[in-house]
């Protein structure tokens, strides 16, 4: 049965409308996925991101349950306990002895409880110092890159001076004048960390302020503050997030270094740094658990944040979409190859026969 030209043209129009509708639906699906949703989807498919998140979550949970551990075990993280925490010869208990899971230190304090309380200090210092450094570095970097001129020259030289100054020497001087404390440690770490973010933000701002959208904002009468923090800043969120994530482990190691040198948070507050410093005198006991377990806790925390920072950087970089696509294609191709191989083996066997 032949169709009339009118029926053929009608069918063609219907097919074309259906294809247009499918194309619009596909375009709507693409437009509906914001850069944040794309980044989260990439993170969900990244195994290393899950591993690093698990490592960080482990230390966060340990920090949160520190008072519970102290209450359940009855072991104080601050007060020495030579009666219950050492044996009859005054030697510390090793891991698993006398109810101490990770052993005790040279004055009978529970290593596990002190590590848990040390995680609270390290995470607090790392997150708060990074937040202060990120906010300050981003604001000063925006101002420096946007205004240029003598403001840019002054702030750029200030960043160079901060990055080149020996921070340990500055911390020792400040601790000698004001005394070591938690607020001083956070302030020192934030002060010597903001310049790294400020320099990156300055460079990105110098590039972004020449774009067309900034010229359009100026043409409609937008002020400098609005252009910097409403128009330019959203385009810098990705590198700022990556830098902030990678700055957390640096701040944690910074804090442990200051505590180890005795210019940070001082005893009896347990921190991983001063635990390692106290353990210097443990060579006579041969107590390896004095320094191994705090070092492992520090390693897990810093490694987790470093791996997470790498994963976040890859997820926020559009150029890595090709790598994720190749990974998905490889996984899918592996399944297809396995099924195809299973189906072709009998055929090859029959041919050889």
The rounded radius of gyration (Å) of the Cα atoms in the chain is 29
Tokens of residue 268, six digits: 């009896």
Using the predicted structure, report yes or no on whether residue 23 has a pLDDT greater than 80. no
Q: What integer pLDDT is reported at residue 333 of this predicted model?
A: 60
- Region label for 33, one of left (φ > 0), alpha (ψ between -120 and 50) or beta (otherwise): beta
Q: What integer pLDDT is reported at residue 107 of this predicted model?
A: 81
Percent of the chain with pLDDT over 90: 21
Q: What integer pLDDT is reported at residue 109 of this predicted model?
A: 86
Q: What integer pLDDT is reported at residue 231 of this predicted model?
A: 86
Pick the closest to residue 204 from 143, 145, 137 (CA basis).
Answer: 145
User: What distance in Å separates the CA atoms of residue 126 and residue 253, rounded to the nearest whole number?
Assistant: 9
pTM for the whole thing? 0.76
User: What distance in Å separates the CA atoms of residue 136 and residue 133, rounded to the nearest whole number?
Assistant: 5
Domains and CATH numbers, the chain: 40-331 (1.10.3720.10)
pLDDT interval class at 330 (50, 70, 90): low
Tell me the per-residue pLDDT of 181-207, one tens digit each, with 9 for 90 and over: 888 889 889 998 899 899 999 998 988
Pick the closest to residue 90 from 77, 105, 79 (CA basis).
Answer: 105
Tell me the per-residue pLDDT of 156-166, one tens digit each, with 9 for 90 and over: 999 998 988 88
Tell me the per-residue pLDDT of 61-80, one tens digit each, with 9 for 90 and over: 999 999 998 888 888 888 87
Over residues 228-254, the mean pLDDT reads 88
Q: Which of 164-168, 278-282, 320-324 has the highest mean pLDDT?
A: 164-168
Over residues 99-114, the mean pLDDT reads 85
User: What distance in Å separates the CA atoms of residue 198 and residue 243, rounded to the nearest whole number?
Assistant: 10
Percent of the chain with pLDDT over 70: 78
Q: What integer pLDDT is reported at residue 300 of this predicted model?
A: 93
Does residue 48 or residue 319 have the better pLDDT?
48
Contacts of 259 (CB under 8 A, 6+ apart): 185, 265, 266, 271, 272, 273, 274, 277
Q: What is the mean pLDDT of the chain?
A: 78
235 DSSP 8-state letter: G
Tokens of residue 322, six digits: 């090709």
Tell me the per-residue pLDDT of 24-58, one tens digit each, with 9 for 90 and over: 444 444 445 666 677 777 777 778 889 999 999 99
Question: Which residues in 81-110 are b (16+ Cβ under 10 Å) and which e?
Answer: eeeebbeeeeebbbbeeeebebbbbbebbb
Using the predicted structure, report yes or no on whether residue 249 has a pLDDT greater than 60. yes
Lowest mean pLDDT among 47-51, 328-332, 334-338: 334-338
Q: Helix 111-147 crosses helix 194-208 at what angle (to 10 degrees)?
A: 30
């Amino acid at each position: 049965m032949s169709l009339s030209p009118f029926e053929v043209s009608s069918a063609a129009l219907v097919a074309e409308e259906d294809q247009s509708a499918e194309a619009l639906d596909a375009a709507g699906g693409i437009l509906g996925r914001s850069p944040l949703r794309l980044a989260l989807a990439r993170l969900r498919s990244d195994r290393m991101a899950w591993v690093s998140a698990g490592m960080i979550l482990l230390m966060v949970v340990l920090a949160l349950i520190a008072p519970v551990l102290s209450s359940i075990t009855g072991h104080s993280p601050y007060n020495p306990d030579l009666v219950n925490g050492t044996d009859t010869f005054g030697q510390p208990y090793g891991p698993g002895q006398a109810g101490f899971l990770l052993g005790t230190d040279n004055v009978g304090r529970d290593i596990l409880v002190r590590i848990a309380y040390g995680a609270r200090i390290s995470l607090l210092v790392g997150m708060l110092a990074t937040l202060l450094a990120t906010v300050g570095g981003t604001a000063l970097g925006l101002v420096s890159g946007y205004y240029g001129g003598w403001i840019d020259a002054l702030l750029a030289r200030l960043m160079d001076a901060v990055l080149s100054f020996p921070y340990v020497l500055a911390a020792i001087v400040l601790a000698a004048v004001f005394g070591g404390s938690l607020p001083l440690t956070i302030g020192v770490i934030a002060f010597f960390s903001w310049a790294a973010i400020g320099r990156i933000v300055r460079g990105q701002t110098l590039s972004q302020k020449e774009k067309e959208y900034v010229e359009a904002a100026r043409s409609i009468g937008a002020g400098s503050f609005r252009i910097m923090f409403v128009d330019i800043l959203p385009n810098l969120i990705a590198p700022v997030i990556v830098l902030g994530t990678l700055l957390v482990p640096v701040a944690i190691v910074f804090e442990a270094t200051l505590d180890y040198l005795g210019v940070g948070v001082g005893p009896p507050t347990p921190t991983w740094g001063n635990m390692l410093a106290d353990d210097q005198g443990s060579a006579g006991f041969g107590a390896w658990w004095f320094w191994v377990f705090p070092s492992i806790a520090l390693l897990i925390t810093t490694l987790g944040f470093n791996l997470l920072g790498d994963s976040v950087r890859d997820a926020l970089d559009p150029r890595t979409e090709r790598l994720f696509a190749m990974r998905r294609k490889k996984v899918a191709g592996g399944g297809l190859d396995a099924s195809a191989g299973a189906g072709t083996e009998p055929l090859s066997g029959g041919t050889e026969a």
